[in-house]
Amino acid sequence: MSDRTFGNVLGARNRKQLATIAEALNSTDDRELRQELRRLVEALSQKGLEWMHRNDAGLREKMEAALHPRFERTSSGYLLELVSVPPVGLSFYEAAKVHHRKSPEAGKAEVDAAQRQRLAAQRAIVLLTALTLNAECGLLSPRPCARCARYFLKNRADQNSYCSTQCAHSVTSRVCWKRDHEAKLKKARRAIAKCSGPQWKQQVSRRAGLSVKWLTRAVNKGELAIPVLS
């Protein structure tokens, strides 16, 4: 994610801003940001901001410092905007502390990782602050989609579980298939109990109304035990 400026963020009625936040929550390029922001948004939807401020030392101060006011001259007068404070990386001293007594390669890798973590934490705070100020923050799903694990913007107020009808349908159809499959297995087991001999598959097929091919597949998958051949 680029360092976007959250201009005019105070009480913004801004779907676009929420889309940017969802994008960061789903980011595959910036895993550190994704992880840190998910941790914060999860706490926000489950425990609320007050709880977070009480339990996460320094969070409130960091949020208060994440955006700063700026006067903008516009054609119709002045506009007070809140813009995001650019993230600040590790200082030379901090980097040296991370690097301390390590081989050049190992030290560099650790400094890079600490740097990414630092920037991600600051960006996450900016995005969290913008989210809490967004007048339409309720449009962001309270948790990731139950199927694809992506955060999404809701189309309806009660859309809490799935990001799309596609995701919802694919889960429903899988559940249906499983229920159907279990019922078939049950039928097959009942029939198997009454059949014997080398021709058992044909007998079971007739009794249970299942194809021989289906029975073979179920046996190969270990879902059905073959009858004791006498």
Shortest distance in whole angstroms from residue 153 CB to Zn ion: 12
Q: Which of 19, 137, 148, 171 binds Zn ion (CB under 5 A)?
A: 148
Considering the rule CB under 5 A, would residue 22 count as an interface residue with Zn ion?
no
State which residue, 6 or 152, has the beta carbon closest to Zn ion: 152
In contact, 44 and 131? CB cutoff 8 Å = yes
Q: Which of 145, 191, 204, 215 binds Zn ion (CB under 5 A)?
A: 145
Considering the rule CB under 5 A, would residue 25 count as an interface residue with Zn ion?
no
Select the span of 1-9, 120-128, 167-175, 190-198 touching Zn ion (CB under 5 A): 167-175
Select the span of 44-52, 54-62, 119-127, 146-154 touching Zn ion (CB under 5 A): 146-154
* CA 8 – CA 166 distance, rounded (Å): 35
Q: Sign of dihedral through CA atoms 111, 114, 116, 122?
A: negative
* CA 39 – CA 84 distance, rounded (Å): 20
Residue indicated by tokens 């489950």: 46
Select the span of 3-11, 54-62, 88-96, 147-155 touching Zn ion (CB under 5 A): 147-155
